[in-house]
Structure 1
Amino acid sequence: MASFSSLGIGSGLDLNTLLTGLVNVEKRPITILQNQQSDLKSQLSAMGQIKSAVSSLQSASDALKTSASFAAYTATSTDSSVVSASATTGAVAGSYKVEVTQLSQAQKVMAAFASGTTFSGTLKLELGKADAATATGFTANNSVDIDLTGKTLAGARDAINAAGLGVTATIINDGSGTGTPYRLVVTSQNGGTGNQIRMTGVAGLNYSAYAGTGGPGSKDANVAQSVAAQDAQFSIDGVTMSRSGNSVTDAIDGVTLNLAKQTTGTPVTVTIAKDPNSVSTKINTFVKAYNDLNKLLHDVTAYNATTKTAGDLSGDYSVRSIQQQVRTAAINTVSGSAGGYSRLGDIGVSLQADGSLSVDSTKLTAAISDPAKDISKLFTGASGVDGVATRVSQTAKALLDISGLVATRTDGINKSIRSLDDRISALQDRVSAIEDRYRKQFTALDTTIGQMNVTSQYLTQQLARLK
């Protein structure tokens, strides 16, 4: 835009101030539209907050809408140094006597070597189980061939580790400095008699000391078993069991037993019980998400008498609709609930005057722990009837859907903002044109008056000479 700093020089009039005043009058419609646009942007921000709060409520509802959400149990042991336990989905309440007679351990095979040892040939390394019924006395479940030709002791170690069979090779040094101070130790990574080691094909590493139908196995003279493979052996309520590892996941449904050491004649008691804290936490999270949304909807529509300002979405139909839909989904009765609870108030979650939910922790804990009733049905529903969590989750999903109320209201606000952008741009072009026209007119006026002033001065001088 051209500068008006030279205006008024010819006429002596303050044309710049006059022009600025006239242009500001023309700009008033733009200011009004910009204020409207600012209000719309505040509404857009408020709708973004509502969208986030509805999404949080949906997540909290999803955590309560399946039966698995309520299948929370704790596992305790009278001596966790012997047996510790944890409960997962599928566990049921109960008490078990556990005795540990033997822990699982992994087999180790050790071969002694002198300094500077190199190998020749291909090592067949196998994992499996000693089996006297086979000709070799061993049934392999996995194997790998490793070329050790020309490899040093360290090279053999690295090649075995790189093979990925499920064994680990290390080197130890007894420090004697003479004879065979180095030991190549091959260890099965998993315990149990089903993960034993057999090595054949390379002199100094042969170990197949398993007696089958063909006779006893063999091993090189420098090779020996340093730790024998063994299974964990234990009993649960007098039933004897064995497993390859010390972490037992399939003896009691939904329960993992971690065997740490042998018992000494006194069984350990493992107790599985409902975990009311887990369910209570999920319900309290749901209530908080509901209350956060309720407060937000109130704040964006409220009128502050002190500041005399209204909320960004005051009088907005969409906010009232969201509030009504969510409240109906949460508060309405779950008809025919098979669990014995039909509404949130039955479990200590009550509606307050301000629309928020309040939790009576004592009543909630009692409801969760009541063996005669099933609190999960209130939230998940049953027999084709949706529960509270299911209803709220579906309502939130519908609100957030691309064609839902939150999205359509947001799109409407964005469309209004874009429309104002176009109107503001058109008005700014109009004001620019008016400024340019005024400037030309004022410049012409300034020039004319300046010329007249010059003529006046000339005539005044001439008249003065006639006196």
Structure 2
Amino acid sequence: MAIMGLGSGMDIRGMVDALVNAEAAPKNAQLNRLEKATTAKFSGLGQFRNALSEFQTVLKDLNSPALFEKRSASSGKADVFSVAATSKASAGNYSVQVLNLAQTSKVALSQVPNVTDAIGTGKLTVTAGDKSLTVDVTDANNSLTGIRDAINAAGKESGLSATVINDPNGGGGARLILSSSDSGTGKDISVTVDTTGEVNSDLSVLAFSPTVPADFKLPEVDPESTGARVISYARDANLAIDGIPISSETNTVEGALDGVILTLKSAQSAEDIEKGNTVNLNVSEDRAGIKTQVKKFVDAYNKMMETVGSLTKVTPVGGDDGEPLAAALVGDASVRSFTSAIRGELGSVIGDTGGLRVLADLGISTQRDGSLKLDDTKFDAALKDNFDSMAGFLTGRDGLMAKLESRVAPYTANGGLLESRTTSLQNTLASVDDQRLALTRRVEKLESRLLAQFNAMDSMIGQLAGTSEYLTGVLDSLPGVVKKDN
């Protein structure tokens, strides 16, 4: 709502606002243009730096000699054994026979009538290989459940454990089942009982020292027998690699082949063993892993250049008279110098690396739009025929990846080119804020001054109007003055 002057009747507020806006408009427009352009460039440089950082990460991953030292290993029958290989493994094919798996010891002690019946007191010692434990059996724990709990409490560190099962055979009763977690020949469980000084103790019924047959074959046992028996003997795994016999305490076999770890899953059938059937084990360079990493390099480069393209794109608008839309980094010197340098490195010759001299020798070519494309067939052939040369071409201080990274690093480094430029743009945005604040203060002072001047003028006009009315009244009252008709 307009505020009219009391003396003049003029719209003082409207006039002051118009004058203030006219004074501030050019500077506001200038600051808006500067802020918009600076913000767009700041955002564009951030996107550019992120794209370079992602590409740099892929370069570092591919510039790793360890990548070419990795080995892949495969088993002809994964249900018989699985295999893994380290960089120490030598490439080759091997024939494997798995004769038997490693076993742990498990025994069932003599049957007693009831799990809660008192058996007797004394000391009960369980031994498996070089591990043993002794429990004191007292009146407080002289039942099967009490002995079981005492063994489990004492056997946590030694891998010895106990359970109780109900056995309906031989008239019915319960048995203590002892197990060891350690496999390997000579680690069978035995139980000794010492009842020295005890009165009427039947604890010795739990004593058991089995004899291990040479063929590890379990003896036939009368199902109705209540005596102790062996459930499984502790035994080494036995296999043959290229006809050479090998034994292992566990089903994880290390050291038989340098850098190769076999995990045995099942023994071959007696028929396969008798016929001499073997399972193939293959160790080779990890070519699939290298190809995957090279594909990541190609994809990362293309993604980076797509980002650069979007940041330097000029889009026509309307007809011939329409002003085109320019992306944030159109004509930017940093972007131009980077793309020129990176493309130069891609086309450079990397010494004499046994048939691989330029990127195209790997099957990586540059398309019309500047993107890279990987020819799978040509790359696979280069990987097969020039495996060692490829490592020298791509990795190391003089390899392509290092050369590319040397072009990227000055832009992405802390305190580098892009960080310095973004810092400068941040300072510009801060300066815009300062200039806006200064403009606001100047406009406020101008507004106050104009209001004071216009109000003074309005007051003066009001005074003059009052004087005019007074004089008119005085003149009208003088004698001889002829009044005009309205």
For normalisation by structure 1, the TM-score amounts to: 0.78
Query: Aligned equivalents of 1:444 and 1:208: distance in 2?
Result: 121
Write the distance in 2 (CA, Å) between the matches of 1:451 and 1:108.
121
Q: Deviations over 1:399-442 (max 9, x none)?
A: 32213222222222222222322222222222233233334444
Residue 366 of structure 2 is aligned to residue 351 of structure 1? yes
Give the SS at the match of 2:246.
Answer: strand
Structure 1 Cα separation of the partners of residues 171 and 472 of structure 2: 132
- Cα 1:436/1:447, change in 2 over 3 Å: same
3-state SS of the aligned residue for 1:241? strand
Q: Deviations for 1:172-205, whole angstroms, at most 9, x for unmatched residues?
A: 4327599985555443334324765577789689
Residue type of the alignment partner of 1:19:
V
1:97 equivalent among 92, 95, 98: 95
Match of 1:42 among 25, 30, 40: 40
Give 1:39 deviation, angstroms.
2.0
1:75-97 per-position Cα deviation (integer Å, ceiling 9, x unaligned): 33333322333444333331111
The one-letter code matched in structure 1 to 2:115 is S
1:64 CA drift (Å): 1.6
8 Å Cα contact 2:148-2:163 kept in structure 1: no
Partner of 1:80: 78
Shifted more, 446-455 versus 235-244: the winner is 446-455
Distance, in Å, in 1 between the alignment partners of 2:47 and 2:12 is 50
Pairwise CA distance, 1:462: 9.4
Matching of residues 313-392 of structure 1 within 5 Å: 313-337=329-353, 339-370=354-385, 374-381=389-396, 386-392=398-404
Letter in 2 for 1:115: V
Distance 1:446 1:419 in 2: 40
Confirm whether residue 24 of structure 1 aligns to residue 21 of structure 2: yes
- In the alignment, is the contact (CA less than 8 A) between 2:155 and 2:161 conserved in 1? no
Q: CA deviation at 1:458?
A: 8.3
Aligned residue number for residue 221 of structure 2? none
What is the CA deviation profile of residues 322-350 of structure 1, one whole-angstrom value per residue up to 9, with x for unaligned ones? 2234334443221132x431221111112
- Counterparts in 2 of 1:258-269, with a 5 A limit? 258-263=263-268, 264-265=272-273, 266-269=277-280
Distance 1:155 1:433 in 2: 97
Q: CA deviation at 1:361?
A: 1.9
The aligned counterpart of 2:220 is none
Whichever residue aligns with residue 8 of structure 1, its letter is M
Match in the other structure for 1:438: 450
Deviations 1:109-153 (A, max 9, x none): 4456643468988987766x3xxxxxxxxx34xx77878875683
Correspondence list, 1:51-62, <5 A: 51-62=49-60
Answering whether residue 276 of structure 2 is matched by residue 276 of structure 1, we say no
Distance 1:126 1:314, change over 3 A: farther
Secondary structure class of the residue paired with 1:258: strand
Residue number in structure 1 paired with 2:115: 115
- The alignment yields a C-alpha RMSD, in angstroms, of 4.0
Distance 2:296 2:308 in 1: 18
How much has 1:7 moved relative to structure 2?
2.9
Q: Is 2:189–2:209's contact at 8 Å kept on the other side of the alignment?
A: no
Match of residue 238, structure 2, among 222, 230, 233: 233
Q: Paired residue for 1:214?
A: none
Name the CA shift for 1:182/1:210 in 2 (closer, same or farther; >3 Å).
Answer: closer
**1:249·1:255 contact (CA, 8 Å) conserved in 2?**
yes
Matching of residue 14 in structure 1 with residue 5 in structure 2: no
Question: What CA distance in whole angstroms lies between the structure 2 residues aligned with 1:431 and 1:303?
Answer: 38
C-alpha spacing 1:164/1:342, structure 2 compared with 1 (3 Å): farther
Cα distance, 1:154 vs structure 2: 7.1
Aligned residues: 438
Q: CA deviation at 1:281?
A: 1.4
3-state SS in 2 of match to 1:76 = strand
Instruction: Tell me by how many angstroms 1:273 deviates.
Output: 3.4
- Indicate how the Cα distance of structure 1 residues 461 and 168 shifts in structure 2: closer, same or farther if over 3 A, else same: farther
Secondary structure of the 1:60 match is helix
- Give the structure 2 partner of residue 408 of structure 1: 420
SS in 2 for 1:115: coil
AA in 1 matched with 2:240 = S
Q: Is the 8 A contact 2:193 2:207 kept in 1?
A: no
Name the counterpart of 2:429: 417
- Contact 2:148–2:164 under 8 Å retained in 1: no
Question: How far apart, in 1, do the equivalents of 2:429 and 2:205 lie?
Answer: 80
Q: Which amino acid aligns with 1:259?
A: L
The structure having more radius of gyration, on CA atoms, is: 2
Unaligned runs of 5+ in 1: 130-138, 212-220
* 1:145-294 correspondence runs (5 A): 150=140, 153=145, 157=149, 160=152, 164-165=156-157, 167=159, 169=161, 171-174=163-166, 181-193=173-185, 209=209, 225-263=230-268, 264-265=272-273, 266-294=277-305
Equivalents in 2 of 1:46, 1:147: separation in Å?
78
Pair 1:309-2:306 in alignment: no
Which SS does the other structure have where 2:284 is aligned? strand
Structure 2 letter corresponding to 1:378: F
Identity %: 29
Q: Which moved more, 1:149-158 or 1:299-308?
A: 149-158
8 Å contact 1:30–1:428 — kept in the other structure?
Answer: no
> Relative to structure 2, which stretch is displaced further, 419-428 or 227-236?
419-428
CA distance, structure 1, for counterparts of residue 470 and residue 135 of structure 2 = 117
What CA deviation, in whole Å up to 9, does each residue of 1:275-312 have, x standing for no partner? Answer: 43322211111011112222222322232234712221
Between the aligned partners of 2:313 and 2:136, the Cα distance in structure 1 is: 80
Distance 1:36 1:200 in 2: 93
Measure the CA separation in 1 of the matches of 2:254 and 2:345: 40
Structure 2 CA distance for partners of 1:19 and 1:144, relative to 1, 3 Å:
farther
CA contact (8 A) 1:33 1:420 kept: yes
| CA distance, structure 1, for counterparts of residue 205 and residue 337 of structure 2 | 79
Aligned-partner Cα distance in 1 for 2:240–2:455: 107
Contact 1:169 1:184 in 2 (8 A): no
| CA displacement at 1:60 relative to structure 2 | 1.2
Larger deviation, residues 318-327 vs 44-53: 318-327
In 2: Cα distance, 1:305 partner to 1:414 partner = 30
CA, structure 1 residues 38+162, in 2 after alignment: closer, same or farther (shift >3 Å)?
A: farther
What is the rounded CA distance, in whole Å, between the counterparts of 1:396 and 1:310 in structure 2? Answer: 25
TM-superposition CA deviations, 1:5-57 (whole Å, max 9, x none): 67326344333333332232333313422331232222222222222222211
2:98 counterpart SS class: strand
CA pair 59-197 structure 1, distance change in 2 beyond 3 A: farther
Q: Which runs of 5+ in 2 are unaligned?
A: 195-202, 212-225, 318-322, 478-482
User: Secondary structure of the residue that 1:315 maps to in structure 2?
Assistant: coil
CA contact (8 A) 1:125 1:145 kept: yes
**Partner Cα separation in structure 1 for residue 468 and residue 175 of structure 2:** 121
